[in-house]
Amino acid sequence: MARRKKIYEGKAKILYEGPEPGTIVQYFKDDATAFNAEKKAVIEGKGVLNNRLSEFFMTGLAQIGVPNHFIKRLNMREQLVRSVEIVPLEIIVRNYAAGTMSKRLGIEEGTQLPRPIVEYCYKDDALGDPLVTEEHIAAFGWASQQDMDDILSLALRVNDFLSGVMMAVGIRLVDFKIEVGRVFDGDFHRLIVADEISPDSCRLWDIDTGQKLDKDVFRRDLGDLKDAYTEVARRLGVMPKNAPPVTKPTLIN
């Protein structure tokens, strides 16, 4: 296969130019990072699981009318997605206190919040993705008021969908992060969900035992990350029983 043009390499994914204008190939790596890449490891098979899980969530979202970038899965580690202009924000939705919210506000992890709380962080690794307010977002022109209205609506719809899907398989959706991007139609643009939705970007706790089934397993050294993600995929019926093992090497380029 001809060598493809790499557009961007992030901590967990590589983006290549897609076969048609307006498309991108998103390759899921096995690399795991935490604490702004201060902690790193290669977890064999993680990319395969996240490729499948993100496909599963994005397909489900499209089915209920939540627009997103997913077009189709290409192979074990790659999916074809729409090219978007990423809004430089990490949009976090929280149903229960955990992580930085618990630290910042002194709320015990696992405390149910009175309602879903949406937070915005400015996407900048060098700054550690700092929490920002809508005042910052408006003043620095990262998103318009219309964009912010659309982002809030998308975030809450994703939350309702994911919470329900997870609840059905005995998993509590504690919080998650999404990213959104603009797709243009002449002078107009609309916002769609982009990047990925996977246990890398969600907190998922078993409803009965509280066992963590997300990237906190890696961040906090709580066991085998691949086992946790495999359990999520198994419960959702995402990895077919006779699928090749997730460790099977995949050739690219």
Q: Which residues bind ligand 5GP (CB under 6 A)?
A: 90, 92, 98-101, 129, 175-177, 200-203, 215
What is the spatial distance between Cα 47 and Cα 66, in angstroms, rounded to a whole number? Answer: 24
Closest approach of ligand 5GP to the CB of residue 187, in Å: 32
Q: Which two tokens stand for residue 231?
A: 């359990």
- Distance in angstroms (rounded) separating the CA atoms of residues 17 and 213: 32
Instruction: Name which of 19 and 164 has its Cβ closer to ligand 5GP.
Output: 164
Between CA 162 and CA 60 the distance in angstroms is: 9
Say if CB 31 and CB 38 are below 8 A apart.
no
Say which amino acid occupies 81: V
Residue with tokens 């290669």: 42
Token pair recorded at residue 105 = 């506000």
Cβ pair 31, 25 in contact under 8 A = no
| Residue 89 CB, nearest approach to ligand 5GP (Å) | 11
- Which DSSP symbol is given to 245? P
Nearer CB in complex with ligand 5GP: 41/243: 41
**Residue (107 or 190) nearer to ligand 5GP, CB:** 107
Q: Which one, 23 or 100, has the nearer CB to ligand 5GP?
A: 100
Minimal distance, residue 2 CB to ligand 5GP, in Å: 31
Rounded least distance, CB 199 to ligand 5GP, Å: 8
Q: How near is the Cβ of 129 to ligand 5GP at its closest, in Å?
A: 5
Which residue do the tokens 């149910």 mark? 112
4/102 with CB nearer ligand 5GP:
102
> Structure tokens of 210?
């509280």
